[in-house]
């Protein structure tokens, strides 16, 4: 952060006023500036990938190929809930217009007492300013709920079976060359803050793990919200979604921990 417009913002150290949120503020800024300067793909550490992310294949010359069976966008991010888009996961080229606008605005809109003034609030605002006609809030509806976890009125977790599509990327909303994917692509399990929603990815005894994957979910990732779930335990002997993701993606390590009856 040694270049304008972030150098003055960083030097003034206003982000240190809120000691509980200081590291989150710096994280919001650093990820945006790194992507703005160099381009690439960013994921928070509390994401677990379930299958390859939307990435354009390289040609023999080392360049990204714009063609293929289905067009794969170079620039994308996703709805995090029914009203906000964030940069917890995303792919961008160097100098992308959205990142340029966000970085330019950070010194002006930063509020130490607000959790999200330079995070999802700012990302969503710029997208709406550029493409309000193309973006619709991601309230839960069947057209976007692809093999996802829903919650009924009793806060008990249930799996919703829905229609699939041959070209998943067509479900994204376009904004000046940027694709905003449905939240079910990267946040397939709704957390919320209710007692019955908080850790549904860890829930055992309801058979959610097998059901989630048997529905051929189109989710690319699971997001387990470290700030909400850091103390959660997962048993290899259970039937949670996280346990089943681990068994499928890391079978050798899973077997060792299972045999040793280790909780992880």
pLDDT of 165? 40
- Rounded to 5°, the CA angle 44-48-49 comes to 105
pLDDT of 263? 60
For residue 91, list its beta bridge partners: 41, 76
pLDDT tens-digit map of 49-63: 998 898 876 555 545
| Per-residue confidence band for 201, with pLDDT thresholds at 50, 70 and 90 | confident
Q: Is the pLDDT at 241 greater than 80, yes or no?
A: yes
Q: What is the mean pLDDT of the chain?
A: 80
Mean predicted confidence (pLDDT) in 162-172: 61
pTM: 0.81
pLDDT of 163? 35
Of 53-57, 125-129, 142-146, 175-179, the one with minimum mean pLDDT is 142-146
pLDDT of 81? 85
Question: Residues near 160 by Cβ (< 8 Å), separated by ≥ 6?
Answer: 142, 145, 147, 148, 149, 150
pLDDT of 137? 64
Spacing of C-alpha 141 from chain mean position: 19
């Amino acid at each position: 952060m040694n270049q304008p417009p972030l150098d003055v913002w960083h030097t003034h150290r206003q982000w240190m006023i809120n000691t509980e949120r200081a590291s989150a503020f710096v994280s919001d800024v650093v990820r945006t500036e790194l992507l703005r300067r160099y381009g690439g793909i960013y994921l928070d550490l509390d994401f677990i990938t379930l299958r390859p992310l939307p990435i354009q294949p390289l040609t023999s010359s080392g360049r990204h190929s714009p063609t293929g069976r289905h067009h794969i966008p170079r620039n994308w991010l996703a709805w995090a809930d029914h009203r906000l888009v964030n940069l917890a996961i995303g792919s961008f080229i160097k100098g992308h217009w959205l990142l340029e606008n966000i970085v330019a605005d950070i010194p002006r809109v930063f509020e130490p007492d607000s959790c999200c003034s330079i995070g999802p609030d700012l990302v969503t605002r710029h997208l709406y300013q550029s493409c309000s006609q193309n973006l619709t809030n991601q309230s839960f509806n069947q057209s976007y709920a692809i093999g996802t976890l829903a919650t009924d009125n009793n806060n008990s977790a249930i799996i919703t079976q829905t229609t699939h599509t041959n070209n998943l990327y067509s479900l994204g909303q376009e904004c000046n060359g940027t694709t905003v994917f449905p939240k079910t692509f990267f946040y397939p399990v709704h957390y919320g803050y209710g007692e019955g929603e908080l850790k549904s990815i860890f829930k055992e005894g309801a058979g959610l793990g097998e059901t989630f994957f048997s529905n051929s979910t189109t989710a690319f990732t699971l997001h387990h919200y470290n700030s909400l779930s850091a103390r959660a335990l997962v048993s290899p002997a259970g039937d949670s979604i996280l346990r089943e993701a681990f068994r499928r993606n890391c079978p050798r390590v899973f077997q060792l921990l299972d045999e040793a009856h280790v909780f992880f």
